[in-house]
C-alpha cells in the first residue's frame, strides 16, 4: 500500500474492527472539549448530525450552510427510505448480508471495513431517528414497517411516506438547533465556504463568504469537517438542488486533499424527462415506485400511439425480460443503462422520445387505487403538478438523470482526508458505495458518518490537539488565503465577457453527460477532455457577471461554482479514461460482455483511484488504494 | 407573568368574553320574545320582566360582568388588531382574501358596527329605563314596552337595528367556532360539531333578533 | 406565450423598493415559474443588468426555500403548490404577473424577492425537538406507536418551513408553522415528556419574533403547500393552556 494513502484499518476480523477501533480510540476529557473548536461545513444529514453530536459531546461547533436555513440542505429531497438491517421482517436479513449487498451493489469497488461498519451501525440509526420523533411508517400494531428497494432480496428499508429524507433531516436539524439554543453551535446560514486554510500541513480553518453581505470571513478551528454533499449538479441537468456544488471539496482538493473515483456518478433511472432547453433540473421520482410500477417501452420503433392504445403483446417489459430474478427492481445503474439502450434504439416515448413508461395499471388492478395512494400518493401528486398528467390513468414517463456522486474526497477509515484535520463525511467522501450506490443507502451513510462514526474518529484526532491553542483568524495564513479568494471573486466581476455562468454550465453539462455519463468510451473521453479545456479557457475570458462582490449576487455565486466544475469535469474524464474496465455506474463501451453487461477487470483495477492536485488541472497525479477483500470474493455482479 | 401577557392568553380572553356575550344573547332574546305576545299581555309581561331584572342583585352582578366582558373584549380586540396591523405585510397587490371568508378577516369592523349599535341601544333603552322618566303601566312597572314599540315604529330605527343584528350574526358565525379553537378544541370531529352548532346558533340568533322589530313595525296601527 | 412581469426590486434591507416592469416573450407553458424567472434573468444579465434575486434550491417542492407573492397570493394561484412547482401553464398569454416578496415584520427583505426567514430557525431552536442526545436511543420497536398516531404526527411533520402561512396571514402569524412542530412532537410518546416546556418556549419565541396572533381565518391552511391542518393550531393552544393551568412551564 502506498505510504501516502494510509487507510489505517483497525486489526481483527471484519465484524470486530469497529469495536476494536472504538475500544482503542483516544478520548478527550469533557473539560478539555470546550477548548476545542470544530468547523462543520454543510447542514445536510451528515453535517447536521455531526455538528449536533459533536456539540452534545461538548465541542464548540461552527456550522455553515449556503442555504437560508440548515433545514433546506438537499438531504431533504430524498424520498424512498433508509436501509437498516433490523431483520424485523424475519426474512433472513443480518449485518453480513447487508454488507454483502452493499459491496455487491457497488460492484466490488469499495472498502470492506468501511462498508461493514456502515451495515453494523445501521440499526442504531433507526433507534436514534425514532427517539428524535421521526414518524416512520408503522404497522397497525404500532411496530415499524419495512419495504424492499432495488438491488436486494430482503425488506430492510424504513420509510416515512415518500419524504424519508425530509423527516430524517428535520430530526437532525432539530438536534442541531437544540445545540444552537444551548450555545454549543454557532450557525452561519447563507455562508459559502470558499477555501480551506492549511497551516503546517493541518486543516485549521476556512474562508467563507456571507452571501447576504458579500463579505468574506475567516474562521479558525482545530479541525474542519466537510459535509457538503455530491456534485452531480456538474451535469447541469440533474436531480440535485440548484445550489448543490463541489466548491468546498474541490478547494480542499486544491489544498492537498485527494479526490477519489470522481467519475463515478450514479444516473438515477426514475426521473422526469427533460421537456425543453429552458429546463433547470430533472425531478426525481422515488425508486420505491419500482416496487409496484412496471417499466416498458413499445416494441415498435417510433410508436406514437397513446400508451393505453398499445396492446399488451406490443409492449416490451425489458427489465422483467432481461433480469427475471430482480425484474423492475434491478439496481440503478443497470436500470438506467437499460433505459438508455431502449431510448437510443428509438423506442423512447414522449414528445422528445427521451423516456420510458412506468406503469401502475397492474398494481392498481391488484391492490386498488387507495393502497397505491397510501404508498405513493405524494409522488403521484407531484407528477401531476409538474407534468399535468394523472398517473393513475396513464403510465408515468421517466428517464435517467444524474443523481449521486459515489466519488468524492478520499478518506481513510477515520473519514479523514489526506490533509490531517480535514474530515469528509456523507456524500462528500467516496468511501462506502463503490462504483454504484444501492437505493436507500445514501441517507444511511450520511447519518452513520455523522451520528456514529465521526464523533469517535474526530475525537481520536482531537486528542492530540488539546494543547494546540486557538488559532488567530487574523494571522497571516488566513489573510493570505482570504486575499486569494477575494482576488478570484474580483476577477469574475471584472471579466465582463459575453456568456453567463449558466450558459457555460449547460455546455459543460451536456459534454459531460454525453461522454462521461451512462456510457463512456476512450475516444469520447479524450474528445471531452479537449473540449473541456477549450471551454475552461473561454470561461476565463468570456464570463459575464454583473454587479459587485460586496453584495448579494447570485450570478457571482454561480460563477465560482462553475469555475470549479470546469476543473473537476476534466478530472472526471481523466479518471474515467484511465479506468479501462466497466464497473457499476462506470460503463466503458470497450469493456462489456457479449451480452452487453459490465466487464470488470479485477487484475488491473481492483483499487480506488485517488487523485492529487498538482496545480495544473490537466496533470493530476494518481495514487492507488488497492482494495483488499479478506472476507468476500468479488464475483461477477449478476441480477439476472 | 408571561402567561398573562402573551397573545394566546389574550386570545383566550377574547374567546371567553365572546362566548359569555354570545351566551347572554340567548337570555336576552328569550326576554325579548315576550314582545311578540298579543299587545296587552306583552306589555304587562315585558314590563314585569324588566322590573324583575332591574331589581335583582344577582342580575346586577351578572350585568357588571357583562359590561366588563364587553369592555375587555373591545380593549383586547383593539390591542390585537393594532399589533396585527403593525407586524403584517403590506402588499401592492393583495389577493390573500381568496383563502378565507370576508367576515373572518373583518371581525374588528363587524365588532365596531356592533359596538356603535350598542351605544345607541344603551342610550335609547337602558339609559332611559335606568335614569330616564318613563310612565308607569297599570301594575306600576316602568313602561319599557311602549318605549320599545315606539322606537320600532320608526323605519330607520328598524333598519339600523337589523344591520347591526346582521353584523352580529356574521361576527358570531366566525366567533363561536373560532373561540373554541382558541381555547384548544383540536379534535376534528368535535370541531365539525362545534362549527355546525355555531352556524345554527348564529343564524337562530340573527333571525330571532331581526324578527322582533320587523313584527312590531308591521303590527303597529297605521 | 408572452407575459408582462411586474417585479419588486429592492437593493437591500434599508432601501425602499419599487415595482419594475419587464416583458418576456416566447414563454413555454411547460416551463416552471422559476425557470421563467431564470429566462428573464438570463436576458437581464446578457444586457449587463443585475439579475433578480430570489430564493430557490431543490426545485421539487420540498426544501421550502422558494416562495414569493405571485399576483397577491403566496406561491401563486395553484393551491397547495410551492413556487417551484408552479408551471406557466397556469397563466395565459399576454397576462401581467405581479411578483412581490413574502412580507411580514418578521421576514425582512434581503434583496429583491429574497427574505430573511431565520425567525423560523429560532422558533425551532427554542424547543422544536425531542431532547435526546446521540447514543441515548432505546431499541426503535420498544416504543410502539399506533398507525394513526404516526400518520397524524406525519401530517404535521410535513411542514417545509417556506413561510407561506405567514405571508398569507392578515396578522403575519406563524401559528401554523409553530403549531405543526408542537403538534407532531406532542402526538408521539417520545415528545410527550417535555410537551409543556416545549409549547411555552416556542410560543414565547414566536411572539418575540414579531409574528402576529391567530384569528382562525384559516387562510394558512389553504395556501400551505403541504395543506397542513389549522387544527394543529388548536392543538398548540390546548397544550399551551394546559401547560399554563398546571404551571408546567419553561
Give which of C67, C129, C142, C185 to mutate to test A binding, by max A Cβ within 10 Å: C129
Per the document, the length of chain B is: 222
pLDDT of residue A379: 86
Of B6, B88, B191, the CB nearest to C171: B88
pLDDT of residue B1: 57
Q: Residue B112 gets which letter from DSSP?
A: H
Within 8 A of C102 by CB-CB distance, chain B residues are: 89
The C residues from 211 to 250 touching A (CB cutoff 8 Å) are: none
Multiple choice CATH, A269-400, 3.30.70.1340, 3.90.700.10, 3.30.530.20, 3.90.1480.20: 3.90.700.10
Query: What is the H or E stretch that residue C6 is in?
Result: strand C3-9
Q: Which cell goes with A579?
A: 479506468
Q: Which chains touch C (3 or more CB pairs under 8 A)?
A: A, B
pLDDT of residue C7: 98
* Strand order through the sheet with A294-298: A265-271, A396-405, A356-359, A294-298, A315-316
Of C72, C215, C241, the CB nearest to B95: C72
The answer on pLDDT for A2 being more than 50 is: no
Does B3 sit within 8 Å of C171, measured CB to CB?
no
Does the domain at B2-86+101-219 match CATH 3.40.50.2000? Answer given as: no
The answer on pLDDT for B5 being more than 80 is: no
The answer on pLDDT for C250 being more than 70 is: no
pLDDT digits (tens, 9 = 90+) for C2-22: 999 999 999 999 999 999 999
B near A: at least 3 beta-carbon pairs less than 8 Å apart = no
Does B107 sit within 8 Å of C72, measured CB to CB?
no
Of C30, C35, C137, the CB nearest to A130: C137
Q: What is the mean pLDDT of residues A50-74?
A: 97
Distance separating alpha carbons of residues A444 and A453, to the nearest angstrom: 12
Do the beta carbons of residue C225 and residue C160 sit within 8 Å? Answer: yes
- Angle among Cα C99, C80, C230 to the nearest 5 degrees reads 110
Task: Residue C29: count other Cβ atoms within 10 Å of its Cβ.
Answer: 13
pLDDT of residue B39: 86
Q: What is the mean pLDDT of residues C216-240?
A: 96
Does the domain at A484-608 match CATH 1.20.58.100? Answer given as: yes
Do the beta carbons of residue C230 and residue C216 sit within 8 Å? Answer: yes
Q: Which of A94, A50, A78 is nearest to A160 (CA)?
A: A78
Within 8 A of A170 by CB-CB distance, chain C residues are: 157
Residue A392 binned pLDDT confidence (cut-offs 50, 70, 90): very high
Distance separating alpha carbons of residues A476 and A478, to the nearest angstrom: 5
The answer on pLDDT for A332 being more than 90 is: no
For residue A278, give the chain C residue with the closest CA: C35
Query: What is the H or E stretch that residue B196 is in?
Result: helix B188-219
pLDDT of residue A4: 80
Q: What is the mean pLDDT of residues C83-103?
A: 96
Distance separating alpha carbons of residues A172 and A73, to the nearest angstrom: 11
* Per-residue buried b or exposed e for C215-244, using 16+ beta carbons within 10 Å of the residue's own CB: bbbbbbbbbbbbebbbbbbbbbbbbbbebb
Please, which residues bridge with residue A38 across strands? A61, A223
Q: Residue A560 gets which letter from DSSP?
A: H
Residue C80 binned pLDDT confidence (cut-offs 50, 70, 90): very high
Does C71 sit within 8 Å of B95, measured CB to CB?
yes
Hunting for cell 442504531 — which residue is that? Answer: A124
Distance separating alpha carbons of residues A348 and C44, to the nearest angstrom: 36
Does A189 sit within 8 Å of C121, measured CB to CB?
yes
The A residues from 558 to 597 touching C (CB cutoff 8 Å) are: none
Which entry of A72, A109, A156, A332 is annotated as an active-site residue? A332
Does A131 sit within 8 Å of C130, measured CB to CB?
yes
The answer on pLDDT for A433 being more than 60 is: yes
C45 in reach of chain A (CB within 8 A): yes
Give the 3-state secondary structure of A59-99.
CEEEEECCCCCHHHCHHHHCCCCEECCCCCCCCCCCHHHHH
Domains and CATH numbers, chain C: 3-104 (3.10.20.30), 117-245 (1.10.1060.10)
The answer on pLDDT for C110 being more than 90 is: yes
Task: Residue A423: count other Cβ atoms within 10 Å of its Cβ.
Answer: 31
> DSSP secondary structure string, A149-189?
-TT-SS--EE-STT-HHHHHHHHHHHHHHHHHHTTSEEEET
Please, which residues bridge with residue A586 across strands? A583
pLDDT of residue B3: 59
Q: Which of B11, B23, B4 is nearest to B182 (CA)?
A: B11
List all residues 6 or more positions away from A119 whose beta carbon is below 8 Å from its beta carbon.
A85, A95, A96, A98, A99, A102
Do the beta carbons of residue A439 and residue A149 sit within 8 Å? Answer: yes
pLDDT digits (tens, 9 = 90+) for A470-500: 999 999 999 999 999 999 999 999 999 999 9
Average pLDDT taken over every residue of chain A: 95
Residue A1 binned pLDDT confidence (cut-offs 50, 70, 90): very low
Of B12, B93, B107, the CB nearest to C72: B93
The answer on pLDDT for B180 being more than 90 is: yes
Decide if the complex's ipTM is over 0.90: yes
Q: What is the mean pLDDT of residues C188-201?
A: 94
Q: Which chains touch A (3 or more CB pairs under 8 A)?
A: C
Within 8 A of A143 by CB-CB distance, chain C residues are: 141, 144
Give which of B97, B186, B193 to mutate to test C binding, by max C Cβ within 10 Å: B186
Does B107 sit within 8 Å of C235, measured CB to CB?
no
pLDDT of residue A374: 81
The answer on pLDDT for A381 being more than 90 is: no
B near C: at least 3 beta-carbon pairs less than 8 Å apart = yes
The answer on pLDDT for B221 being more than 80 is: no
Please state the domain extents for chain A: 269-400, 484-608
Of C46, C116, C134, the CB nearest to A451: C134
Do the beta carbons of residue A43 and residue A176 sit within 8 Å? Answer: yes
Which region, left, alpha or beta, applies to residue A184 given φ > 0 means left and ψ of -120 to 50 means alpha?
alpha
Does A180 sit within 8 Å of C154, measured CB to CB?
no
pLDDT digits (tens, 9 = 90+) for B140-160: 888 999 999 999 999 999 999
For chain C, give me the number of helices (H) and strands (E)? 9, 7
C34 in reach of chain A (CB within 8 A): yes
Do the beta carbons of residue A91 and residue A148 sit within 8 Å? Answer: no
C near A: at least 3 beta-carbon pairs less than 8 Å apart = yes
For residue C226, give the chain A residue with the closest CA: A378
The answer on pLDDT for B53 being more than 90 is: no
Does A242 sit within 8 Å of C57, measured CB to CB?
yes
Distance from the Cα of B222 to chain C's closest Cα (Å) equals: 47
Residue B95 binned pLDDT confidence (cut-offs 50, 70, 90): very high
Average pLDDT taken over every residue of chain B: 92
Hunting for cell 415559474 — which residue is that? Answer: C33
Is residue A530 annotated as a catalytic residue, yes or no?
no
Within 8 A of C220 by CB-CB distance, chain B residues are: 99
A491 in reach of chain C (CB within 8 A): no
Do the beta carbons of residue C198 and residue C150 sit within 8 Å? Answer: no
Please, which residues bridge with residue A265 across strands? A405
Are β-strands A146-147 and A157-158 bridged in parallel, bridged antiparallel, or unpaired? antiparallel
Does A72 sit within 8 Å of C65, measured CB to CB?
yes
In total, the C-beta contacts within 8 angstroms joining chain A to chain C are 228
Within 8 A of B80 by CB-CB distance, chain C residues are: 171, 213, 215
Does B181 sit within 8 Å of C230, measured CB to CB?
yes
Q: Residue A301 gets which letter from DSSP?
A: T
Coil, helix or strand at residue A238: strand
The answer on pLDDT for C249 being more than 90 is: no
Numbered residues of chain B with Cβ closer than 8 Å to any chain C Cβ: 2-3, 6-12, 80, 83-84, 86-96, 98-101, 104-105, 107, 174, 177-178, 180-188, 191
Does C249 sit within 8 Å of B3, measured CB to CB?
yes
Within 8 A of A177 by CB-CB distance, chain C residues are: 121, 124-125, 128-129
Hunting for cell 466503458 — which residue is that? Answer: A588
For residue C59, give the chain A residue with the closest CA: A241
The answer on pLDDT for C202 being more than 90 is: yes
Does A135 sit within 8 Å of C184, measured CB to CB?
yes
C130 in reach of chain A (CB within 8 A): yes
- Asked whether the whole model's pTM tops 0.80, one would answer yes
Amino acid at each position: 500500500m502506498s505510504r501516502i494513502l494510509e487507510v489505517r484499518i483497525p486489526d481483527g476480523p471484519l465484524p470486530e474492527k469497529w469495536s476494536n477501533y472504538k475500544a482503542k480510540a483516544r478520548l478527550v476529557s469533557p473539560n478539555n472539549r470546550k477548548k476545542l473548536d470544530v468547523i462543520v461545513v454543510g447542514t445536510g444529514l451528515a453535517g447536521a448530525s455531526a455538528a449536533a453530536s459533536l456539540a452534545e459531546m461538548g465541542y464548540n461547533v461552527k456550522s455553515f450552510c449556503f442555504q437560508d436555513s440548515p433545514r433546506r440542505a438537499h438531504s431533504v429531497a430524498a424520498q424512498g427510505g433508509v436501509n437498516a438491517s433490523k431483520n424485523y421482517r424475519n426474512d433472513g436479513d443480518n449485518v453480513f448480508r447487508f454488507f454483502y449487498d452493499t459491496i455487491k451493489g457497488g460492484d466490488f469497488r469499495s472498502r470492506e471495513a468501511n462498508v461493514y461498519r456502515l451495515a453494523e451501525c445501521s440499526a442504531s440509526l433507526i433507534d436514534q431517528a425514532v427517539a428524535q420523533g421521526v414518524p416512520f411508517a408503522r404497522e397497525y400494531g404500532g411496530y415499524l414497517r419495512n419495504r424492499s428497494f432495488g438491488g436486494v432480496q430482503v425488506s430492510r428499508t424504513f420509510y416515512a411516506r415518500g419524504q424519508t429524507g425530509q423527516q430524517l433531516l428535520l430530526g437532525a436539524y432539530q438536534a442541531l438547533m437544540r445545540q444552537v439554543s444551548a450555545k454549543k453551535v454557532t450557525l452561519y446560514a447563507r455562508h459559502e465556504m470558499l477555501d480551506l486554510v492549511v497551516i503546517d500541513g493541518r486543516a485549521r480553518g476556512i474562508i467563507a463568504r456571507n452571501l447576504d453581505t458579500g463579505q468574506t470571513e475567516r474562521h479558525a478551528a482545530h479541525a474542519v469537517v466537510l459535509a457538503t454533499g455530491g456534485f452531480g449538479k456538474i451535469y447541469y441537468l440533474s436531480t440535485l438542488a440548484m445550489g448543490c456544488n463541489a466548491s468546498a471539496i474541490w478547494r480542499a482538493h486544491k489544498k492537498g486533499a485527494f479526490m477519489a473515483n470522481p467519475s463515478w456518478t450514479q444516473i438515477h433511472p426514475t426521473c422526469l424527462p427533460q421537456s425543453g432547453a429552458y429546463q433547470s433540473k430533472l425531478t426525481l421520482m422515488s425508486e420505491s415506485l419500482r416496487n409496484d410500477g412496471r417499466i416498458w417501452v413499445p416494441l415498435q420503433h417510433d410508436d406514437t400511439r397513446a400508451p393505453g392504445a398499445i396492446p399488451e403483446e406490443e409492449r416490451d417489459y425489458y427489465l422483467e425480460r432481461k433480469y427475471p430474478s430482480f425484474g423492475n427492481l434491478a439496481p440503478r445503474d443497470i436500470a438506467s443503462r437499460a433505459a438508455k439502450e431502449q431510448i437510443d434504439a428509438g423506442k423512447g416515448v414522449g414528445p422528445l422520445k427521451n423516456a420510458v413508461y412506468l406503469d401502475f395499471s397492474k398494481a392498481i388492478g391488484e391492490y386498488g387505487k387507495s393502497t397505491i395512494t397510501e404508498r405513493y400518493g405524494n409522488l403521484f401528486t407531484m407528477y401531476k403538478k409538474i407534468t399535468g398528467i394523472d398517473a393513475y390513468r396513464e403510465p408515468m414517463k421517466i428517464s435517467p438523470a444524474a443523481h449521486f456522486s459515489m466519488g468524492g474526497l478520499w478518506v481513510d477509515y477515520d473519514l479523514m482526508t489526506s490533509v490531517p484535520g480535514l474530515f469528509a463525511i456523507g456524500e462528500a467522501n467516496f468511501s462506502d458505495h463503490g462504483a454504484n450506490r444501492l437505493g436507500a443507502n445514501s441517507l444511511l451513510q450520511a447519518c452513520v458518518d455523522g451520528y456514529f462514526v465521526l464523533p469517535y474518529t474526530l475525537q481520536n484526532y482531537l486528542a492530540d490537539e488539546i494543547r494546540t491553542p486557538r488559532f488567530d483568524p487574523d494571522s497571516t495564513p488566513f489573510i493570505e488565503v482570504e486575499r486569494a479568494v477575494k482576488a478570484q471573486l474580483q476577477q469574475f466581476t471584472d471579466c465582463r465577457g459575453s456568456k453567463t455562468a449558466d450558459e457555460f454550465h449547460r455546455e459543460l453539462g451536456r459534454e459531460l453527460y454525453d461522454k462521461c455519463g451512462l456510457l463512456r468510451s476512450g475516444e469520447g473521453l479524450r474528445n471531452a477532455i479537449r473540449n473541456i479545456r477549450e471551454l475552461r479557457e473561454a470561461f476565463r475570458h468570456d464570463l459575464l457577471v454583473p454587479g459587485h462582490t460586496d453584495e448579494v449576487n447570485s450570478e457571482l455565486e454561480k460563477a465560482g461554482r462553475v469555475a470549479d466544475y470546469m476543473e473537476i469535469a476534466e478530472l472526471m474524464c481523466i479518471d474515467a479514461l484511465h479506468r479501462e474496465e466497466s464497473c457499476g455506474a462506470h460503463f466503458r463501451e470497450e469493456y462489456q460482455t457479449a451480452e452487453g453487461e459490465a466487464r470488470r477487470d479485477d487484475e488491473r483495477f481492483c483499487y480506488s483511484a485517488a487523485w492529487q492536485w498538482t496545480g495544473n488541472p490537466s496533470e493530476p497525479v494518481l495514487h492507488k488504494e488497492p482494495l483488499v477483500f479478506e472476507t468476500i470474493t468479488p464475483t461477477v455482479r449478476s441480477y439476472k | 407573568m408571561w402567561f398573562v401577557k402573551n397573545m394566546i392568553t389574550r386570545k383566550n380572553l377574547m374567546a371567553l368574553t365572546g362566548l359569555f356575550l354570545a351566551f347572554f344573547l340567548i337570555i336576552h332574546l328569550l326576554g325579548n320574545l315576550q314582545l311578540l305576545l298579543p299587545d296587552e299581555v306583552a306589555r304587562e309581561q315585558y314590563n314585569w320582566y324588566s322590573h324583575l331584572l332591574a331589581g335583582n342583585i344577582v342580575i346586577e352582578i351578572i350585568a357588571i360582568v357583562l359590561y366588563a366582558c364587553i369592555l375587555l373584549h373591545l380593549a383586547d380586540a383593539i390591542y390585537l388588531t393594532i399589533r396585527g396591523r403593525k407586524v403584517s405585510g403590506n402588499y401592492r397587490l393583495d389577493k390573500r382574501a381568496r383563502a378565507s371568508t370576508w367576515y373572518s378577516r373583518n371581525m374588528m369592523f363587524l365588532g365596531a358596527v356592533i359596538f356603535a349599535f350598542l351605544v345607541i341601544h344603551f342610550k335609547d333603552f337602558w339609559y332611559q329605563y335606568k335614569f330616564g322618566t318613563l310612565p308607569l303601566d297599570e301594575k306600576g312597572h316602568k313602561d319599557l314596552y311602549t318605549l320599545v314599540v315606539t322606537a320600532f315604529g320608526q323605519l330607520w330605527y328598524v333598519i339600523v337595528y337589523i344591520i347591526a343584528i346582521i353584523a352580529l350574526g356574521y361576527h358570531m358565525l366566525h366567533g363561536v367556532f373560532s373561540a373554541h379553537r382558541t381555547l384548544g378544541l383540536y379534535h376534528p370531529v368535535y370541531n365539525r360539531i362545534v362549527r355546525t352548532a355555531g352556524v345554527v346558533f348564529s343564524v337562530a340568533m340573527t333571525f330571532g333578533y331581526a324578527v322582533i322589530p320587523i313584527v312590531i313595525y308591521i303590527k303597529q296601527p297605521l | 406565450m408572452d407575459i408582462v412581469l411586474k417585479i419588486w426590486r429592492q437593493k437591500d434591507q434599508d432601501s425602499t423598493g419599487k415595482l419594475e416592469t419587464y416583458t418576456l416573450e416566447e414563454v413555454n407553458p411547460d416551463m416552471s415559474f422559476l425557470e421563467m424567472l431564470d429566462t428573464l434573468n438570463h436576458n437581464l444579465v446578457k444586457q449587463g443588468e443585475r439579475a433578480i434575486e430570489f430564493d430557490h434550491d431543490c426545485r421539487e417542492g420540498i426544501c421550502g426555500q422558494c416562495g414569493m407573492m405571485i399576483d397577491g397570493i403566496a406561491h401563486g394561484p395553484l393551491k397547495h403548490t410551492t413556487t417551484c412547482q408552479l408551471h406557466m401553464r397556469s397563466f395565459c398569454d399576454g397576462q401581467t404577473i405581479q411578483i412581490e416578496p413574502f412580507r411580514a415584520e418578521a421576514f425582512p427583505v434581503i434583496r429583491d424577492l429574497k427574505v430573511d426567514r431565520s425567525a423560523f430557525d429560532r422558533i425551532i431552536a427554542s424547543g422544536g425537538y425531542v431532547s435526546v442526545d446521540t447514543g441515548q436511543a432505546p431499541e426503535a420497536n420498544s416504543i410502539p406507536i399506533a398507525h394513526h398516531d404516526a400518520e397524524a404526527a406525519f401530517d404535521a411533520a410535513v411542514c417545509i418551513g417556506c413561510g407561506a402561512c405567514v405571508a398569507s396571514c392578515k396578522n403575519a402569524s406563524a401559528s401554523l408553522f409553530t403549531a405543526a412542530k408542537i403538534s407532531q412532537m406532542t402526538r408521539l410518546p417520545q415528545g410527550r415528556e417535555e410537551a409543556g416546556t416545549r409549547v411555552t418556549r416556542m410560543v414565547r419565541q414566536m411572539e418575540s419574533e414579531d409574528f402576529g396572533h391567530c384569528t382562525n381565518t384559516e387562510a394558512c391552511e389553504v395556501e400551505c403547500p403541504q395543506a397542513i391542518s389549522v387544527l394543529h393550531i388548536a392543538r398548540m393552544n390546548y397544550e399551551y393552556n394546559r401547560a399554563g393551568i398546571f404551571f408546567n412551564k419553561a
